[in-house]
């Protein structure tokens, strides 16, 4: 089982999570059951992933078996871009809870700072195949996110892929402080400036795509992916510590103060990915890992670059 860190509102947050994006339909329930058996207690899903029902079914099954209690697991889900209008946020959160079969989630995130036209289509497009934007301001969305906390639908709120300026705009109006900013983070995009900014604000960074794999963000993929899992320098460190390359990457992120969210349907890798708490990277080896940074972002959602709330037009 992973240790925890304390969020700014006092809740405990397991320092490694389990990601559920791009799983094959029908397989996620068993994968989450396997992850629970492997010791994972932090699960990350989203309305957009269309697997909340499977994730929830697995958690409920393990509760029924007596393996876990509800309070033992930390469940995150997310508000998709077509639901940013303040008047629909609470109902959308309730829809996720219904899908999960849970009374509450531990963390509810705004999935992206930009909104899309409301409707059933998660990626609404015009006749020219361009995404149709919404001009809802995420600051207004945030106020509705706070209502989700007040109604007991979620214990904590935060966001996904917000840059420093967007975070500050929310902090300036927030009555309930964000606890987490989930971003792409791996050895080739180590996000040290954003990590430090968030640390100063008391916001925990979580990392999706910790291995920068192309399947991790398939529909948003801009093309060629870096492959830190094949990096010879990381392989040298893995040999030195008698660990896998994946374990070294995850440990590096944890030592940066980041909570990584790897995903795998392979039982062996499930166990390996959480088995990172019996070693520490030495300072000189952390420096080697730091030197690999290229600011190489694979999940840039370039189709949305013209949106006024696109987050990647500034350094961090």
Question: Does the annotation flag 111 for ligand binding?
Answer: yes
The first and second tokens of residue 66, run together, are 């007596």
Closest to 109 (Cα-Cα) out of 36, 27, 47:
47
How many CB atoms sit inside 10 A of residue 89's CB?
24
Exposed/middle/buried for 53, CB within 10 Å: 0-12, 13-18, 19+?
Answer: middle
- The predicted pLDDT at position 139 comes to 98
State the first-to-last Cα distance of the chain, in angstroms, to the nearest integer.
32
**Is there a catalytic annotation at residue 40?**
no
Q: How far apart are CA 141 and CA 143, in angstroms?
A: 5
Confidence of residue 63 (pLDDT cuts 50, 70, 90): very high
Q: Evaluate if residue 236 carries a pLDDT over 90.
A: yes
- Could you read off the pLDDT of 17-51 as tens digits, one per residue? 999 997 677 899 999 999 999 999 999 999 999 99
> Do the Cβ atoms of 158 and 183 come closer than 8 Å?
no
| Domain architecture of the chain: domains with CATH | 4-313 (3.20.20.100)
**Cα distance between residue 179 and residue 7, in whole Å:** 6
pLDDT, tens digit, 9 for 90 and up, residues 130-169: 888 999 999 999 999 999 999 999 999 999 999 999 999 9
Rounded CA gap, 72 and 284, in Å?
36
Angle of helix 164-173 versus helix 138-150 axis, rounded to 10: 50
Of 21, 40, 49, 208, the catalytic one is 49
Over residues 186-200, the pLDDT tens digits come to 999 999 999 999 999
Q: What is the mean pLDDT of the chain?
A: 93
Neighbours of 127 (CB within 10 A): 5
């Amino acid at each position: 089982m992973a240790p925890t860190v304390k969020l700014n509102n006092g809740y405990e947050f397991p320092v490694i999570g389990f990601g559920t994006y791009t799983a094959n339909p029908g397989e996620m329930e068993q994968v989450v059951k396997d992850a629970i058996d492997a010791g994972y207690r932090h699960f990350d899903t989203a309305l957009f992933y269309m697997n909340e029902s499977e994730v929830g079914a697995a958690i409920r099954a393990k509760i029924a078996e007596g393996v876990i209690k509800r309070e033992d697991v930390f469940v995150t889900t997310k508000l998709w871009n077509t639901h940013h209008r303040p008047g629909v946020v609470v109902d959308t959160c309730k829809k996720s809870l219904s899908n999960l079969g849970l009374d509450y989630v531990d963390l509810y995130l705004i999935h992206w700072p930009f909104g899309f036209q409301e409707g059933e289509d998660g990626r609404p497009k015009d006749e020219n195949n361009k995404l149709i934007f919404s001009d809802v301001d995420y600051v207004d969305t945030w106020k509705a996110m706070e209502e989700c906390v007040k109604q007991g639908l979620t214990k904590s709120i935060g966001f996904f892929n917000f840059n420093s300026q967007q975070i500050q705009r929310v902090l300036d109006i927030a009555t309930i402080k964000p606890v987490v900013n989930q971003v792409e983070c791996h050895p080739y995009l180590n996000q040290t400036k954003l990590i430090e900014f968030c640390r100063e604000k008391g916001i925990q960074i979580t990392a999706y795509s910790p291995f920068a794999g192309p399947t991790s963000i398939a529909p948003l993929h801009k093309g060629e992916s870096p492959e830190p899992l094949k990096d010879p320098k990381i392989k040298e460190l893995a040999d030195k510590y008698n660990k896998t390359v994946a374990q070294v990457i995850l440990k590096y992120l944890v030592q940066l103060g980041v909570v990584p969210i790897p995903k795998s349907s392979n039982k062996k890798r499930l166990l390996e990915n959480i088995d990172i708490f019996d070693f520490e990277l030495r300072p000189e080896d952390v420096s080697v890992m730091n030197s690999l940074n290229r600011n190489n972002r694979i999940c840039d959602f370039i189709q949305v670059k013209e949106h006024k709330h696109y987050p990647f037009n500034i350094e961090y």
